[in-house]
Amino acid sequence: MSLSSDLALLRLAPPFAALSDEQLRLVAFSGERVSVPAGGLLIEAGQPPPGAFVVLEGLIEVRAAGCRASQPAGPGAMVAQLALLAETDIVDEARATRPSEVMLVRRAVFRRLLEEYPEAASALHARLSADFLQLGAAVAGVRESLAEPPGSGEA
């Protein structure tokens, strides 16, 4: 893959969407390419990842901690996004379903990017705030749909 195609895929990952080309190049040059064979484990249960992974090629099946179902992650998707900010094991397992290539972006690299480019940190803060508000609204909707209908508790 070329640098321009790497940058295009990085830009699809939510934490990187608002970054400038210069900032994306820093991520691309600092990122570590990892090849994962079909059936290979990218993230093992109980092992917090050293950062987040952006899928460059192939398909990774991701299972969150406590979930039975998995979620597919194809080119441009990010696996273990929260690992950019803190050591976490929210992803229980990530396994390639076919030969895949990912870019590991380590926490230290991301932290350095946010320190050197405060506008990137501000954009990330705004995006995370919006995501949390959206999550809160979705949870409130679920709570309302599960609430007991009025009068159903009377005998």
State both tokens at 74.
């194809």
Q: What CA–CA distance (Å, rounded) separates 148 from 152? A: 7
Segment 115-143, tens digit of pLDDT: 998 888 787 778 778 777 887 888 888 88
pLDDT band at 144 (very low <50, low <70, confident <90, very high): confident
Contact, 18 vs 127, CB < 8 A?
yes
Q: What CA–CA distance (Å, rounded) separates 30 from 32? A: 7
Contact, 36 vs 102, CB < 8 A?
yes
Q: How far is C-alpha 34 from the chain's CA centre?
A: 16
Which CA distances in Å does 129 have to 36, 72, 124, 135, 155? 33, 25, 8, 10, 45
Q: How far is C-alpha 107 from the chain's CA centre?
A: 13
pLDDT of residue 150: 63
Q: 154: Cβ–Cβ under 8 A, 6 or more apart, which residues? A: none
State both tokens at 12.
């699809």
Query: What topology does CATH give the domain 3-144?
Result: Jelly Rolls (2.60.120)
pLDDT of residue 68: 80
pLDDT band at 153 (very low <50, low <70, confident <90, very high): low
Number of residues that make up the chain: 155
- Identify the bridge partners of residue 38 per DSSP, sorted by sequence position: none
Contact, 59 vs 72, CB < 8 A?
yes
Which tops the pLDDT comparison, 93 or 151?
93
> Considering the entire predicted model, what is its pTM?
0.80
Segment 18-46, tens digit of pLDDT: 888 899 999 999 999 999 999 999 998 88
Segment 81-120, tens digit of pLDDT: 888 888 877 777 899 999 999 999 999 999 998 899 888 8
Average pLDDT in the 49-62 region? 94
